[in-house]
Amino acid sequence: MSKPISFFIALLLIPVFIRIYAAMHTVHAVNSCPIKHLAIIMDGNRRWAKQRKLMSSVGHKQGAETVKTLVKFCLSRKIEIVSVYAFSLENYNRSPEEVQAIFDIIIDHTETSLPSFIEQGIRVRFIGATKTAPAHVQDSIARIESSTSHCSKLLLNVLFCYGGRQEILQAIEHIIDDVKQGKLTEAPTEEIFKTYLWTSALPDPDLIIRTGGVQRLSGFLTYQTTYSELYFTDRLWPDLTIQDLEHAVETYNLRSRNFGK
């Protein structure tokens, strides 16, 4: 066979080889459970600011902006629920100045975003021991929740003054009270126990993403995360992108969830 003919045949076979190679290296999704509830541990605001020699409050402000990226992603993916860890009960151990700054940023950013949230159909709910916050913060929370209560496209849960262990302990306290008052006459089932949690009306998270390179849950939805898929990234929260979120979801889709079966 002459060299020109051999070269011509080789050119014709290139697309065939490309398709075979692609088929051999294509990884198909195995997860049949689409994400309904996405949960985020927003870690790295202070380190982001420190790297830039800025005050920690600047990092928290930038982190609040990243929530817009998260919301945009959830809407585009038709994810129904997203929960973000905004302030833990342990965060009260920080300086009063930083605690106050975090409160102000969370409330100011949420109130400023209200028109956009309402327009996009985003309901905002604060979950946690919110009564521990100052009165003016509680008033803002009530106003935000009331203003978005009719929205149904996306539920944005802000875990605020939240602690997983504290949530469980409070549920037990309420169960004991109900037993004493005769409202509960038998040992609660798992489903009944869930109704005593701050997250009573929510399904458990399908995927939890933690930024900042730390690989632990830090009291985040302690009871609810038994079968949640975990994804950790070194990216600091203020730097998180749509592409980072896409990669986390793609990783989730490649996992097989059998819930112990």
Active site residues: 43, 91
d(CA 63, CA 47): 11
Tokens of 162: 């939240």
Query: Can you tell me whether residue 189 is helix, strand or coil?
Result: coil
Query: Can you tell me whether residue 3 is helix, strand or coil?
Result: helix
Residue 245 in contact with residue 84, Cβ under 8 Å?
Answer: no
Nearest to 38 by CA among 227, 198, 229: 229
> How many whole angstroms from its chain centre is CA 13?
47
d(CA 222, CA 225): 6
Tokens of 72: 């945009």
Residue 214 in contact with residue 237, Cβ under 8 Å?
Answer: no
Q: What are phi and psi of 40, to 5 degrees?
A: -130, 130
